[in-house]
Structure 1
Amino acid sequence: MFGTHYRIERKSVALAVAIMVVASIGGLIEIAPLFTIDETVESDPDMRVYTPLELAGRNIYMREGCYACHSQMVRTLQDEVERYGPYSLAVESRYDHPMLWGSKRTGPDLARVGGKYSDQWHTAHLNNPRDVVPQSIMPRYHWLSETGLQTKHLGDDLRALKAVGVPYTDDMIANAPSDALAQASPDSDTDELVARYGDATQVRLFDGDQRTVSEMDALVAYLQVLGKLSNAAQPAPKE
């Protein structure tokens, strides 16, 4: 076997052909499944989109590099399912541009963290992780509570996502800044917000401070919907 390999190495044309054959096999294995992607990827007609506040939180999550230490994909391994919940499905990342599956877990996976902890826990954890997890090595993000959320360009964010297939309407785009503020201001009129994004929309003071809508509000709102935009991965109720 090695003799054949050595002989091919001495002939540039034969070596080039062998490389192309091997690369073609690998490429075929990667590309062929894409032809049946419509049959293999799950669908969820009831899946909802991120609200402007949740999308702003996702942008902050990426800006602060949270994806470098936290993955968002529960694999099919038994110990992961037991720890984090049902394994992730492709449809759950349908509206994620870019996807944040990740591969490094300095911190725990966050694919199903939504609703696992209270808003107060998340706020305290982000302000100073060691207040709630003494052994944590996560850095502090205390300035998020002190920084007002910038909503001016949220409409542009929704418009860009619409261009790549996320079903935002013109009404959602036009009202993105006001909807972001309304979601973290429960005393305001939120009827139109709920009408646009559905009854599952969470409206409350995410950071516990009613004086202003902060970046902390947005990030906590985002964390609280992870794993909750779709019910496709949840086991069917027993009859």
Structure 2
Amino acid sequence: MADLHRKLERSAIRFMLAIIAVASIGGLVEIAPLFTIGSTVEAAPDMRVYTPLEVAGRNIYMREGCYACHSQMIRSLRDEVERYGPYSLAVESKYDHPMLWGSKRTGPDLARIGEKYSDAWQVAHLNNPRDVVPQSIMPAYRWLLRTPLKTDDLGRHLAALRTVGVPYTDEMVANAPIDAYGQSAPDDDKARGVTERYGKATHVRAFDGNPGELTEMDALVAYLQILGGLTDAARKTDQTALGE
């Protein structure tokens, strides 16, 4: 082996060809599975896209680095499934750009955190984590409650996501700022448009407890409360596996 390596190093052409051969093998191993991705990703007819408010919340989640301590990928290990729920499916991240699977957990996995706790709990936890989890080392995000949410560029965010495959319609893009407000104001006429465009099961409520003001807290809580709820594919798969 040492002699072969020495011969390759002494010939630039042979060394270059060896590099190309090794890189080609590695590339083939990585690229080949993509040709069968259509048959490996689960079907989810009930899959819906993120609303503008949820997209804004996801952007805040990434801005604040929440993904550094919380993964969004439940592995098919017994202890993880028992703690967090059905293991994650590829289709659940179909509209995530970028994906936030992760592998490091300073805090719990959030793939199924949606609706596990009330909005009031989420607000209290983000405002000061130790109020609800005394042993928490998570920093407080108090400014979210007093920071108005910027909505005038949400249409551009949806348009950008559409270019990478998320099926937002022209109507969704055009009404993004209005729908962001409407989702957090259930008694406003704008709320009706949200359910018409994104479905009747869409969460429409004052996430931060104040329906008169749209804040970054509204957006982040709206995002957290939909995690694991864009489709029921994982739960249906889990029930099938259990023979129910």
Task: Give the shorter-chain TM-score range.
Answer: over 0.9
Q: Where does residue 185 of structure 1 map in the other structure?
A: 185
Q: State the distance in 2 between where 1:76 and 1:21 align.
A: 35
Q: State the distance in 2 between where 1:174 and 1:13 align.
A: 57
Q: Where does residue 63 of structure 1 map in the other structure?
A: 63
Structure 2: 5+ residue runs without aligned partners?
Answer: none
Q: State the distance in 2 between where 1:12 and 1:177 align.
A: 59
Q: Which whole-Å deviations, capped at 9, do the CAs of 1:71-124 have from their partners, x for residues lacking one?
A: 111122222222211111111111111211222212211111111111111101
Q: Where does residue 45 of structure 2 map in the other structure?
A: 45
Is the contact between residue 71 and residue 101 of structure 2 (CA under 8 Å) also seen in structure 1?
yes
Is the contact between residue 41 and residue 91 of structure 2 (CA under 8 Å) also seen in structure 1?
yes
Deviates more, 1:187-196 or 1:229-238: 229-238
Deviates more, 1:202-211 or 1:88-97: 202-211
Q: Where does residue 114 of structure 1 map in the other structure?
A: 114
Q: Which whole-Å deviations, capped at 9, do the CAs of 1:41-95 have from their partners, x for residues lacking one?
A: 1121220111111111111111111112211111222222222111111111111
Q: SS of the counterpart of 1:233? A: helix
Once the 2 structures are TM-superposed, how far is the Cα of residue 17 of structure 1 from its aligned partner?
2.9
* Aligned-partner residue type, residue 119 of structure 1: D
Is the contact between residue 124 and residue 132 of structure 2 (CA under 8 Å) also seen in structure 1?
yes
Q: SS of the counterpart of 2:88? A: coil
Q: Where does residue 220 of structure 2 map in the other structure?
A: 219
Q: Where does residue 203 of structure 1 map in the other structure?
A: 204
Q: Which whole-Å deviations, capped at 9, do the CAs of 1:159-202 have from their partners, x for residues lacking one?
A: 22122221111211221111111111122122222111101111
Structure 1: 5+ residue runs without aligned partners?
Answer: none
Is the contact between residue 144 and residue 215 of structure 2 (CA under 8 Å) also seen in structure 1?
yes
Q: Where does residue 23 of structure 2 map in the other structure?
A: 23
Once the 2 structures are TM-superposed, how far is the Cα of residue 10 of structure 1 from its aligned partner?
4.2
Q: State the distance in 2 between where 1:163 and 1:210 align.
A: 33
Deviates more, 1:3-12 or 1:226-235: 3-12
TM-score normalised according to structure 1 size: 0.92
Q: SS of the counterpart of 2:233? A: coil
Report sequence identity in percent: 69
Deviates more, 1:26-35 or 1:162-171: 162-171
TM-score normalised according to structure 2 size: 0.91
* Aligned-partner residue type, residue 166 of structure 2: V
Matched, 1:231 2:236: no
Q: SS of the counterpart of 2:234? A: coil
Q: State the distance in 1 between where 2:185 and 2:120 align.
A: 16
Cα RMSD for the two superposed structures:
1.8
Q: State the distance in 1 between where 2:75 and 2:20 align.
A: 33
